[in-house]
Structure 1
Amino acid sequence: MFQEDLIDRYTEKLPGRLAGRSTGNAAGFIPAKATRGGWMHSVWTLAGLMALLGIAVPEVFCQTPGVQGFFLEGWQPKTIEVTAFDTVPQTTLNPGVTVTVNAGTVLTRVPPQVYGHNAAAWGGKLDLSPLAVTNITHLNPHVIRWPGGSMSNDYFWAAKSKETRPKDLPSTYEFKDLQYGLNNGGWTMSVDNYYSLLAKTGATGNISVNYSYARIGTSEDPVRVAARYAADWVRYDKGRTLIWEIGNENFGSWEVGYQIDTNLNKDGQPKTINGDLYGRHCKIFIEEMRKAAEEVGVDIKIGVVAMDSHVTWDAIQQNWNSQMMKQVGHLADFFIVHSYHTPYNENSSVSTILGSGAKSKDIAKYVTDGLKNHAGLGPMPMAMTEWNIFATGSGQGVSYINGMHATLVLGELIKNNYGQGNRWDFVNGWDNGNNHGLFADGEPGIARYTPRAPFYYMYYFQKYFGDKMIPTTVSGSSDILSYASSFSSGEKGIVLVNRGISERVVELRFNHFKPGSRYYYYVLTGGTDNGNFSRKVFVNGKTTTLAGGGPEDYATLRPYGTERNGEIRLALPKYSAVYLLVEGSRDLQSQEIHFGVLPAMTYGDTALTLSATATSGLPVQFAVSDPRVARLADGKITLMGAGNCDIVAFQEGDSVYLPAPQVVQRLTVAKAPQAITFPEMGPMLTGTPDFDPAATASSGLPITYTSSNTAVATIAEGKVRITGPGTTLISARQNGNNRYGAAPTVARELVVSLNTAIPAFRETSFELFPNPASEQVTIRFPHDKENPGFAIYNALGSLVYRHPGGESTVILPAGTLGGPGVYTVKAGTSVRRVTVLY
């Protein structure tokens, strides 16, 4: 009723507003007479009417709500312009297939992270290879995952060698050089090499932390220890990585920690993992990692491992999602799935591989239904952080057919509202072509890091795919699949895939879009080598002289350009993919955007309302280039941290106006100041227990302390520990983070006097002998648990020794105390004296 009331309200205003405009099938709306029968039609009619009336269209009308969530915070409007092309005539063959593109409906915005990839330590120093850096930069994955697959559960990021690993690992644990993040051997990629690769390629990070350490650790609290180890990586990262995962495929028997030796475990974990245990552990990881992020002054997103489908042969996997989601579903930011699409270790055919692309839809449904049924939650963001094919035996992995498969997966990930996708992986070996790597690694006669065939399909997909997905329908053949998109500059980008064994002629038709005079495209096909699984790819007829790969000049290779003659027609060879860009009609009025310079801001400032106008009177939209600095909601900018980012103002036009040239303004955000409040400290006596100096920062960040005279006081676990009489300065510091500048240091004087009072002797809870002593002193408690820790002071009241407690018998060499004299031993409220002789 609401929809129809609004339509009726605005219909009377239309005649004046529609002067000079088409009233049938104009971009953004359909005729009102076609709307009364269906909700979706009514929605889009309302959206079109609102746009024509200069009223901003709420985004709920434009995309499926919510499921991509924060992944769309980095969305950017894409523009494109073709300046050079090779002219080819339009085919005169009769079409047998029709693809209809509905430009009046937006299925979803395209999250840039869907083009992501994986790197792994065994791939070598990608950041130091100009060839690798150039190709990855051209590929533009946006996000690169690290440290790679199952290695994530085996990876100690802060260790350099076996000697520097955490000390609470089992003695039977298998150690490999690849497991150490600080190993800088020439053959491996270190953590710092990874960060260097991000910086050189313009990508952001995606790190999978070592969950299995929480299972195999032998400390008293292995989960907390492992979570803090992960949190320390967040601190070291300092905001370079937004996306964090807790473990990798931990439901699988192939992962470290799936089963443990319960004789070594000290917190009662079961031998075999389960979803409930993993979920409870994830709560601790999330707590520690978010605490670390707050200290650094960044926002991070944390994902948890989910099963991708229901199984009946494995109880752990069968119950994983239900158990895990009940525990941590409400705390996780997103859910992680992996898919290798084809049957495991099978010599799959072309039809099996190209028929598996739609698996993404089933996975999304399985996880979303699970969230609803097991945790009472609505759709949540999802990321497929590993995908490829399991097919093997015929060189399928490095073939152009796997490139076609990559095209299908990218289209399906976007269509089914995944927030992120990461193909597995950059470099992975050769294995006679049965390998997942995107770049050459070991094949004869081809330099390492040379792109293999699938690279080209991913490159051209992103090149000609816009920032919003729009729906298509195909009639005439089930061999043809299509995905379509809109650019904010007005063009339509369309992907056509022919899975058939014969050529198909396709005709394109558009609703709510008037094509321009020309269209451009790249057609990708395979060679004749290796049967159906050619290692070569031809791009517009051009390939490589090597045994595998494609044209070296792919980044500058000109597209075919064709003058449109009526409807667009294309001949698609067998097993081919076409990436098509269609110009919009230029027979429209131009418009401009007025968007003023933004004020300098400081973190903590109130939200900034953006304001821009278009000369057309149409509403202006905005986008933010870096959500780590600012985020956009309801036309307002909320500051997330210090730094610089671009605010993009854009207006995409309608049936009368062309898209406006974008206007970009730089937003500069300074760090907020902070101050320390530090109360004066009164005089103290030796023997005073450790105490908190009680300084606080206005930012709420933790304070660190130093003492100028360690003979008087030291700092232990954030507290002041008196060591002797005298004077010292206790300084309070807060060094700032990504949001706050360093606070001015504040110092307070601490005066410590000798405590000459010795408590009256009474029956004590410990023995001390011999007394007097000459060579050693033995201090014995009735039981380990009755030793609370003790301190020994010399005759001047200075602390000479402190024991942490927990041992029933402690034997000290007399020399430890500092020479002959009378010493006082204090344990809790019990005190004894001992005389040390020469």
Structure 2
Amino acid sequence: MLTLICCLALPNLARAQTDQAVYTDALVNGWQNWSWATVNLGNTTPVQSGTDSISVSAGPYQALYLHQTAFDSTPYAALVFWIDGGASGGQLLQVQATLNGAAQTVVTIPALAANTWQQVTIPLSSLGVQNQPDLDGFWIQDRSGTTQPAFFVDSITFTAQPPPSVVNVTVNAAQPVRIVDARHFAVNTAVWDADFDTSNTINLLTSMGAQALRFPGGSLSDDYHWATNTTDSNTWQWATSFDQFAQVATTVGAQAFITANYGSGTPAEAASWVQESNVTHHYGFKYWEIGNECYGSWETDTNTVAHDPYTYAQRFQQYYTQMKAVDPAIKIGAVAITGEDSYANNTNHPVVNPRTGQTHNGWTPVMLATMHSLGVTPDFLIYHRYAQAPGAESDAGLLLSNGTWSTDAADLRQQLKDYLDAAAPNVELDCTENNSVYTNPGKQTTSLVNGLFLADSICAAMNTEFNAVAWWDLRNGQETTNNNSSSLYGWRQYGDYGVVDSVDPAGPADTYPTWYVDRLLQHFARGGDQLVSSTSDYPLVSVCAAERTNGGLTLLIVNKSPNTAFNTNITISGGSPGSTGTLYSYGIPQDNAAESGVGSADIATSPITGLSTNFSYNFPAYSANVIAFGTGASPSPTPTATSTSTITSTITATRTASPTATASRTPTATATSTRTATPTATGTSTSTPTASQTLTATATATHTATPTTTMSVTASLAFGNVAIGQTLAKNLTVDNRGAVHPLVI
């Protein structure tokens, strides 16, 4: 048994990471109420500070439960909150934190005093969640087994650890990790982009160093007909046709991912698209996806059994056979998701994992097992990764979320091994959508934080077997009504999935930090370079290292602290990088310049001296930095022509290539989640505090007093009919991930 003292406050320490507020008159930083007690988040009396507190009326073993998207707890020291026993006091409570939903060590709190605010400080080590990658919540729970009088909680915070005096980065230039793939620097493009086939876009894509493009755009792919450039039954055409996309892609020398229509299309339609692309026009587009997120109810799916992995696998075989008959050189990908029980949309075709003996109905196991029985093997798995849910955005959480790229890669690879057996090693992993939030983009998407996230995400993915990271997307449209909380960094009071807006020509404020950081990355690595081993001993400083094809060494270092410049000691082995180089950086000064119009919003470039196999550098807060060793620095990328197919047969299909729709932005989509034990009560108290005290709490390793109310959580996306956003034609809108819906006003 461990005894701890809950003190009035932690000592005043310099902090590398700011404290993460959980509740300050309301839930902030993406925290959500998942309680199974009766709570009121807007209680007006008593309050410890501000205008509101949380009132909690708990039955036997019920709890105030606050949840967040899983984040790395390493930068945080303690959970701190104020609590008041109300008019009667005497409540017996305990605290537990959760790692990926699993409750950890119980910490008991002494009986609460009546009408007294007391501050409780519990070190994360006592809760069993210190230095963990997946802290996702905590609860304050009745431990008496009886109905408790109302108590009150206020000013909830995770306090930050003090910064290290030195962050240590090590690089082993002689230890290769992998060859960098050009598709690590990819961006989604879309048929609704009326400015796509222009010199402006070509210049933007070239300047940012885009090496791969995806088309025709998200969920819209599952009801898009390439030959007419239309969506299902509509008669108007989209702003950008396939030939216009191809013209831009080949001009900038980018590879391409093309998403064939699974939801309302046919294998023959997809095969004719391959014919048009690679035989008639010799575009040589190599990567073809069968559908977009087909496991999701938000996707168009006209099959008898919709969103069914068994049906998908059977039809995938037909697509695969007919498309490869046209061009055997293409690679065809299948939609997948992590987790063997994810999107178990029905139980029609359960499969048994031959390694574990467990039965699963999830999308990926059923799909892969069915493919195995049919003797068809996809060339790659298609994975989409969004770090956060709308309304649950947290800057700190976002910047600490990329540690799970390796977990995702391992999950998908294990499922391939389990269900495809000998064919598994031949299947590569590609992420063809990546961004911060899966729908309803708020101000975080256009902030410096999302730019840093982009760099860190690509860096993390490169260190796994993922061969592509395609950012969602080039242009999408500004949305002003989503999460613009003051708890999020950034001055743009709107969200936008795009890296640029539609202004032509684009000024500094029209190109978002994600575009500038993409531009920065071309000084770090391009396809064909060698990623080498690198590590950081502190999670707020991430590092990637590469040996360029010209022999030069480069380092990408991201400082994820909003307020601390880190003194970083860099040790390099396995090579002699030289004493001089070039520093490329993007951060707060450039972001501020874009807002004010004063100074340069572009990447800062300066010579750097004093380099060696062991040197120190102070990296500014919230910055992405590339050090290119050597007098020649890192070469600018040279666009290369996309390889072409040598097949010479022709097709007879014709189509109209001139779009008539003028889409320039996309409206929001809605997301819903359902769960039991939703809080509905508004209990209040009129008592007032009379004193402040400290509490002594006890941590125990056993999990006592399990909840008697069962809570199940099922998150689902529902791309709804929304009135905001752009009318594309008559009564249609396209949502912010590409699905088309009737417009409701």
* Pair 334,565 (structure 1): closer, same or farther in 2 beyond 3 Å: closer
Given residue 352 of structure 1, which amino acid in structure 2 is its aligned partner? G
CA distance in 1, matches of 2:214, 2:267: 24
Other-structure match for 2:512 = 452
Other-structure match for 2:475 = 427
Other-structure match for 1:246 = 290
Q: Secondary structure at the match of 2:295?
A: coil
Other-structure match for 2:103 = none
Other-structure match for 1:572 = 619
Cα drift, residue 547 of structure 1: 7.0
Where does the alignment leave 5 or more consecutive residues of structure 2 unmatched?
Answer: 1-163, 347-359, 481-493, 634-638, 653-745
CA distance in 2, matches of 1:346, 1:547: 30
* Pair 248,237 (structure 1): closer, same or farther in 2 beyond 3 Å: farther
Cα drift, residue 160 of structure 1: 5.5
Q: Which of structures 1 and 2 has the larger relative contact order (alpha carbons within 8 angstroms, sep 6+)?
A: 2
CA distance in 1, matches of 2:367, 2:456: 30
Cα drift, residue 153 of structure 1: 0.6
Other-structure match for 1:581 = 628
C-alpha contact (below 8 Å) 1:403/1:455 kept by paired residues? yes
Cα drift, residue 194 of structure 1: 0.7
Where does the alignment leave 5 or more consecutive residues of structure 1 unmatched?
Answer: 1-93, 163-172, 215-222, 261-268, 528-535, 587-623, 630-639, 643-670, 672-700, 705-838
Q: Secondary structure at the match of 2:378?
A: coil
Other-structure match for 2:424 = 378
CA distance in 2, matches of 1:626, 1:189: 21
Other-structure match for 1:417 = 465
C-alpha contact (below 8 Å) 2:571/2:615 kept by paired residues? yes
**1:756-795 maps to which residues of 2 (within 5 A)?**
none
1:325 is matched with which residue: 359, 365, 368?
368
CA distance in 1, matches of 2:417, 2:455: 31
Cα drift, residue 244 of structure 1: 0.8
CA distance in 2, matches of 1:429, 1:547: 22
Q: Provide Cα deviations, 1:270-302, integer angstroms capped at 9, x if missing partner.
A: 3333111101101111111112226xxxx2111
Q: Return the TM-score normalized by structure 1.
A: 0.49
CA distance in 2, matches of 1:411, 1:383: 15
C-alpha contact (below 8 Å) 1:115/1:420 kept by paired residues? yes
Q: Provide Cα deviations, 1:463-495, integer angstroms capped at 9, x if missing partner.
A: 1236111111223x3321111111232221111
Cα drift, residue 207 of structure 1: 0.8
Cα drift, residue 519 of structure 1: 2.7
Other-structure match for 2:499 = 438
Residue 484 (1) aligns with residue 555 (2) = no
C-alpha contact (below 8 Å) 2:384/2:433 kept by paired residues? yes
Other-structure match for 2:353 = none
Other-structure match for 2:222 = 153
Cα drift, residue 405 of structure 1: 0.4
C-alpha contact (below 8 Å) 2:447/2:513 kept by paired residues? yes
Compare CA radii of gyration and give the structure with the larger one: 1
Cα drift, residue 228 of structure 1: 4.6
CA distance in 2, matches of 1:486, 1:566: 15
Cα drift, residue 566 of structure 1: 7.5
Cα drift, residue 125 of structure 1: 3.0
Other-structure match for 1:788 = none
* Pair 503,311 (structure 1): closer, same or farther in 2 beyond 3 Å: farther
CA distance in 2, matches of 1:400, 1:375: 42
Other-structure match for 2:262 = 211
CA distance in 2, matches of 1:306, 1:480: 31
Cα drift, residue 318 of structure 1: 5.2
Residue 387 (1) aligns with residue 400 (2) = no
Other-structure match for 2:300 = 256
Other-structure match for 2:213 = 144
**1:20-59 maps to which residues of 2 (within 5 A)?**
none
Other-structure match for 2:72 = none
Q: Return the TM-score normalized by structure 2.
A: 0.55
Residue 518 (1) aligns with residue 572 (2) = no
2:325 is matched with which residue: 280, 284, 291?
291
Moved more, 227-236 or 455-464: 227-236
Other-structure match for 1:357 = 402
CA distance in 1, matches of 2:286, 2:552: 31
C-alpha contact (below 8 Å) 2:275/2:650 kept by paired residues? no
Given residue 175 of structure 1, which amino acid in structure 2 is its aligned partner? N
Q: Provide Cα deviations, 1:748-804, integer angstroms capped at 9, x if missing partner.
A: xxxxxxxxxxxxxxxxxxxxxxxxxxxxxxxxxxxxxxxxxxxxxxxxxxxxxxxxx
CA distance in 1, matches of 2:436, 2:361: 23
Other-structure match for 1:825 = none
Q: Secondary structure at the match of 1:208?
A: strand
CA distance in 1, matches of 2:182, 2:267: 34
Corresponding residue pairs, total: 449
Other-structure match for 1:306 = 336
Q: Provide Cα deviations, 1:277-336, integer angstroms capped at 9, x if missing partner.
A: 101101111111112226xxxx21111111134455743595211121123364311111
Q: Secondary structure at the match of 1:427?
A: coil
* Pair 146,236 (structure 1): closer, same or farther in 2 beyond 3 Å: farther
Other-structure match for 1:277 = 311
Given residue 155 of structure 1, which amino acid in structure 2 is its aligned partner? Y
Question: Which has more strand, going by share of residues?
Answer: 2
Cα drift, residue 515 of structure 1: 2.7
Q: Secondary structure at the match of 1:121?
A: coil
**1:574-723 maps to which residues of 2 (within 5 A)?**
574-583=621-630, 628=643, 641=646
* Pair 288,551 (structure 1): closer, same or farther in 2 beyond 3 Å: farther
2:594 is matched with which residue: 541, 544, 547?
544
Given residue 490 of structure 1, which amino acid in structure 2 is its aligned partner? G
Cα drift, residue 585 of structure 1: 12
**1:178-193 maps to which residues of 2 (within 5 A)?**
180=237, 183=238, 188-193=239-244
C-alpha contact (below 8 Å) 2:441/2:496 kept by paired residues? no
Cα drift, residue 390 of structure 1: 0.6
Cα drift, residue 197 of structure 1: 1.1
Other-structure match for 1:509 = 571
Residue 563 (1) aligns with residue 610 (2) = yes
1:98 is matched with which residue: 158, 164, 168?
168
Q: Provide Cα deviations, 1:551-577, integer angstroms capped at 9, x if missing partner.
A: 4665xx633422337832111122222
Give the % identical residues: 21
CA distance in 2, matches of 1:448, 1:320: 43
CA distance in 2, matches of 1:134, 1:226: 33
C-alpha contact (below 8 Å) 1:127/1:200 kept by paired residues? no
* Pair 552,563 (structure 1): closer, same or farther in 2 beyond 3 Å: same
Other-structure match for 2:201 = 132
Other-structure match for 1:83 = none
